Amino acid sequence: MVPAMSAMHYISTRGQTPPMGFQDAVLEGLAPDGGLLIPERIPDVRDKLAFWSTLSYQDLSFEVLRQFVDLPVEDLKALIARAYRTFTHPEIAPAWPVGPVWILELFHGPTLAFKDIALQFLGQFFEYALERRNARLNILGATSGDTGSAAIHGVRGQQRINIFIMHPRGRVSPAQERQMTTVLDANVFNLAVDGTFDDCQNLMKSIFRDVEFKRRYALGAINSVNWARVVTQIVYYFSSGLYVMAQTGAPRVSFSVPTGNFGDILAGWYAAQMGLPIGRLVLATNENDILARFFNTGTYSLGHVVPTISPSMDIQVASNFERYLYYRMNGDADALRNAMELFGRTGALSVAGRDELFRAGVGDTASTLETIRHYHDAYGYLLDPHTAVGVHVAAPHLRADEPMICLATAHPAKFSDAIARAVGRDIARHPALDALKDAPTRVDPIPNDERAVRDYMAARAQV
């Protein structure tokens, strides 16, 4: 007999939103009080790890998600099956030993980036939930590169959804831009904002905080502020961690995660709290190092966004950091709210103490290029620049008794210019990207102005 699904409820980090179920939390996106929705408790699954280590990726997804969701069993299984049917590798997220590390390949989905793993599921869920509620949704998202295309491919052509994706004009790679703007479905709208990714993210969050506008136009979120993004990413920490421990006989593993918005590494933190034996989470940033500075000094302080060869990490304000900060503040929503208000006024906040699970470092452009070059020459493996940041930062933390799993977040062909700089030849290719070179595009330039974005959406939203 299959046990009943989870009765988990979700609360806001800012403590002023009534608890809600999983389906409402996912459709809500950002909490009405401006906070982020989190589970009311973190399940302990240590007694399940032996069984979980025997499962396929899809079956493991079901076992992990059932801890958090309130969907009927067969419906959840069907959503998972549909989400991963377009992936080109049978293991969905395979892990391989490469030199001194293990590489967890998360780029076998339709847009060749790790965001597909969450957003293919989220797209299926939206369609499922809206049909049952006879409802419509207007998704508003901001992207530094990969989220936008993965979200668009997750919901393109859906009748009940329009999707509006803002990206920083001229600050994503050419391949990332074409993956978004060559999608011509009537429900897809690309907005090229004159500003940075942080500007796009601030526009999105400000619009979501207007509860009346959010309700009138049925706004939904696909950025990692949406809990479904985080919970689906927990799965590949369990899949790779259990696999590598079985292959090596190690009692625990560590992970190195290239990090911009903190959502991917936050999923690893949740996996550790659930009972996966993780020795360390190595947080890797590029020159936009606000998160590395926080974990090394305890101070979270704004800098200026620096354009780099790893553009998906060219972020200062990490949208998921608030979830982690809530736990660091022992679940004190008032303290969290005060800290975020202070950060909004001054651009800085500090937290006492240290989380021993984390290590943090920076991979600048020179070290990123050298890491790509070295792994290609020494091991015949091509790293994309984001993955190379993680591999570089992992190096000082390697231990013989604790395998290091480095998350490969995108296919190198998405950043062919950076690869050519590193190895001296244009060798990062993928047929899916080559096919887009002469495809027609559609994109609307828009100023970095909230009123302009609101007016654009109001004229095109499904209501």
Q: Which residues are catalytic?
A: 115
State the distance between the two ends of the chain, measured CA to CA, in whole angstroms: 42
Contact 200, 167 (CB under 8 A): yes
Output DSSP code: residue 403: P
Which strand (E) or helix (H) includes residue 12? strand 10-12
> At residue 210, what is the residue type?
D
> At residue 41, what is the residue type?
R
Q: Which of 222, 198, 144 is nearest to 176 (CA)?
A: 144
Give the strands of the sheet with 404-408, arranged side by side. 95-98, 101-105, 404-408, 253-258, 278-285, 358-362
Contact 360, 324 (CB under 8 A): no
- In a 3-state reduction of DSSP, which class is residue 387? helix
Structure tokens at 41: 């408790």
Which strand (E) or helix (H) includes residue 301? strand 299-301
Output DSSP code: residue 412: G
Strand pairing class (348-350; 37-39): unpaired
Number of residues that make up the chain: 463
CA atoms within 13 A on the CB side of 169: 11
Place of tokens 């859906």: 158
Contact 250, 325 (CB under 8 A): no
Long-range contact pairs involving 103-109 (C-beta distance under 8 Å, separation at least 24): 103/381, 103/383, 103/387, 103/405, 103/406, 103/408, 104/236, 104/240, 104/405, 104/406, 104/407, 104/408, 105/408, 106/236, 106/407, 106/408, 106/409, 107/384, 107/408, 107/409, 107/410, 107/411, 109/150
Inter-CA distances, 110 with 106, 151, 187, Å? 11, 11, 19
